[in-house]
Amino acid sequence: MSKPKVYVTRRLPGEAMDLLYQRTQVTVWGEDAVPPPKEVIKREVADAEGLISLVTDPIDAEVMDAAPKLRVISNYAVGYDNIDIPAATARGIVVTHTPGVLTETVADFTFALILAAARRVVEADRFTREGKWKSWEPMLFLGQDVYGATLGLVGLGRIGSAVARRAKGFNMRVLYYDVVRREDLERELGLEFTDLPTLLRESDFVSIHTPLTPETRHLIGAKELNLMKPTAILINTARGPIVDTIALAHALRERRIWAAGIDVFETEPVPPDHPLLQLDNVVVAPHIASASIATRTKMALLAVENLLSVLEGRVPPHPVNPEAMGKR
């Protein structure tokens, strides 16, 4: 039996590629730092049964229509806002994702941004390297305390609750807002459920952990930022468009909020002249919250297992639209 044709939009870490070479006829986009243009994806999927895509690849109806044999789109990410799910379901294409394996790694990085923004770690590093340190000073790089502060979680899914568990170790009061109330976690971790305005008014740190949907696009804009304390810090490791980043840059410049830690942007890669990048009170990163060696390797293996399951007639571990299964 001939092996199914598969297109992968970037080289994946670990043994995942070996598995693909053994079990499929795989073609891989050759560059690591640049995603394939849409025209290339359309050409490569023309006779493919499987596609492994990344958050950088918009997979819409146009791409799917160029792929009459496509049975599975395996996204190498937990988020799948880059894929038109209704269009995939209508065409009987199963979409899968990689939840679970990256939860703790993303929660770790959320805390890295909380601590870095609160204690001005990046500014202090730059200052020290640049030879500007003249003496120990009582007022040098004064920051905000994390221990004992109030953390507001916008979204209490897997990653939000992993951040809440870490916050308990810092003796934080933890508020959360979500469309689903989790009384089990409220009891287990001592969390408090609030509406969004209350969370924004009372939190010292606001951390976003909700998927990007039409409802969450610009969930945090000028009005919401105005509700936050002048000493508050906003953290976003979820998706850039959940925050209106121009409004955020204004709020930070005018010191209406104190700082931000941002791993995701409305446009990625963020252009170097973006207003947020001109500010010292922002710690930024290039969408790397899940980037540990172990986690990116597990994500790759899971993405491949999702893909092979559909191609080999098994139920994939993490389908997004199970109703599409068996339709093609």
The residues that touch ligand DGY, with contacts defined as CB under 6 A, are: 55, 77-79, 102, 290
Examine the residue annotation and report whether 287 is marked as an active-site residue of this protein: yes
Nearest to 145 by CA among 117, 177, 174, 122: 117
Q: How far is the CB of 280 from ligand DGY (least distance, A)?
A: 26
Catalytic residue, from 188, 268, 312, 323: name it: 268
Interatomic CA distance for residues 128 and 207, integer angstroms: 29
Catalytic residue, from 239, 266, 296, 318: name it: 239
Which residue, 106 or 191, has its beta carbon nearer to ligand DGY?
Answer: 106
Burial class from Cβ neighbours inside 10 Å (0-12, 13-18, 19+) for residue 198 reads middle
Catalytic residue, from 287, 296, 305, 318: name it: 287
3-state SS, residue 33: coil
Q: Which residues pair with 93 in a beta bridge?
A: none
Q: How far is the CB of 215 from ligand DGY (least distance, A)?
A: 18
Nearest to 222 by CA among 204, 200, 238: 200
Q: How far is the CB of 300 from ligand DGY (least distance, A)?
A: 11
Which residue, 20 or 242, has its beta carbon nearer to ligand DGY?
Answer: 242
Q: How far is the CB of 54 from ligand DGY (least distance, A)?
A: 8
Q: Give yes or no for a contact between 184 and 168, defined as CB atoms under 8 angstroms apart.
A: no
Q: How many CB atoms lie within 10 A of CB 219?
A: 20
The residue written with tokens 């939009």 in the block is 9
Q: Which helix (H) or strand (E) holds 27?
A: strand 25-28
Q: How far is the CB of 79 from ligand DGY (least distance, A)?
A: 3
The token duo for 174 is 């933890």
Which residue, 4 or 99, has its beta carbon nearer to ligand DGY?
Answer: 99
**What are the angstrom distances between the C-alpha of 92 and each of 97, 302, 314?**
16, 21, 15
- Rg (C-alpha) for the chain, rounded Å, is 21
Instruction: Kindly list the catalytic residues.
Output: 239, 268, 287
